[in-house]
Amino acid sequence: MKDTKTVIITTLNAAWTEPNSIFDLFIESFEIGNQTKSLLKHVVVVALDQKAYSRCLEVHLHCYALTIAGLDSDSGEAHFMSKDYLKMMWRRIHFLRTVLQLGYDFVFTDADVMWLRNPFPRFYPGGDFQISCDRYRYNSTYLNNSPNGGFIYVKANNRTVQFYKFWYTGKDYFPGKHDQDVLDMIKLNPFIKEIGLKMRFLDTAYFGGFCQPSKDLDLVITMHANCCSSLERKIHDIKMVIEDWKKYMALPLRDETNLSRRTWTLKRICSYG
């Protein structure tokens, strides 16, 4: 980005890049969001298999092929907590550490996160590692917030590089766990305090998801299809989010007296629990 070494990164496999699937909805959110379309030119799509890479080249400018040893790229959707899923999640952590070592700040975003407003003005100044939450409690420094690795803003410095190395070693200390579970276990580790990492948790009032939706469309910045493991259900409900957002943006004036215009109206089928 202008005057900064900041990139927006997402990772995709074949199942999420099928036409009319998650990838198309992700791009559409930038195009219909408030002051988000210009951010698309800073998005790097990291493709985890050849199908995803080919599809990315068809629709996007910045595509990067990242190979994962032993990944069955022809098996379709990598289901939550499957062997392929865990390989992708931990390879992602390793890759993001490399980005930091190259000196780039980044926003990592899952492709099922809809970008409805520019998030940068809402990030906390001075924070090294800022992460969204499945459920947000109390304040941005409260370590018992429930983090979600699907949306993270990280500044490149020695503290964050050390942190990502520490996080990655968690796959060996906690075998069979995915990166988010390990993060939830290590966030209270004394090592975090020793390296001086400034960790902040992002309020779901702005950075919401299906676990704990943003309720006020005047505030919402991103909407994540978390707490929803089925790809088909994700696609259905993300389309509902986009339809609601289009209706909201089409209002001639923001009517401060009509709260029904400022919240989600269409019913989603994903569970919030």
> Which three-class secondary structure state does DSSP give residue 120?
helix
In one-letter notation, the amino acid at residue 256 is E
Q: What is the pLDDT of residue 272?
A: 46
pTM: predicted TM-score of the whole model, two decimal places: 0.90
Q: What is the pLDDT of residue 203?
A: 97
| Closest to 67 (Cα-Cα) out of 93, 46, 96 | 46
Q: Is 91 exposed, middle or buried (0-12, 13-18, 19+ CB in 10 A)?
A: buried
The residue count of the chain comes to 273
Q: What is the pLDDT of residue 61?
A: 75
Note the CATH number of domain 6-262.
Answer: 3.90.550.10
Distance CA 119, CA 164 (A): 23
Q: What is the pLDDT of residue 134?
A: 94
Q: Is 260 exposed, middle or buried (0-12, 13-18, 19+ CB in 10 A)?
A: exposed
Which residue stretches of the chain are H helix?
22-32, 50-59, 83-101, 158-173, 179-186, 190-195, 231-249
Say how many C-beta atoms besides its own lie within 10 A of residue 131's C-beta. 23
Helix crossing, 22-32 with 50-59: angle to 10°? 30
Instruction: State how far Cα 200 lies from the chain centre.
Output: 15
Show the low-confidence residues of the chain (pLDDT under 70).
Answer: 68-84, 253-261, 271-273
| Closest to 113 (Cα-Cα) out of 261, 15, 259, 11 | 11
Domain residue ranges in the chain = 6-262
pLDDT tens digits, one per residue of 147-188: 999 999 999 999 999 999 999 998 888 877 888 899 999 999
> Residue 266, CB half-sphere, CA atoms under 13 Å: how many?
16
Q: What is the pLDDT of residue 81?
A: 45
Distance CA 94, CA 11 (A): 13
Q: What is the pLDDT of residue 150?
A: 94
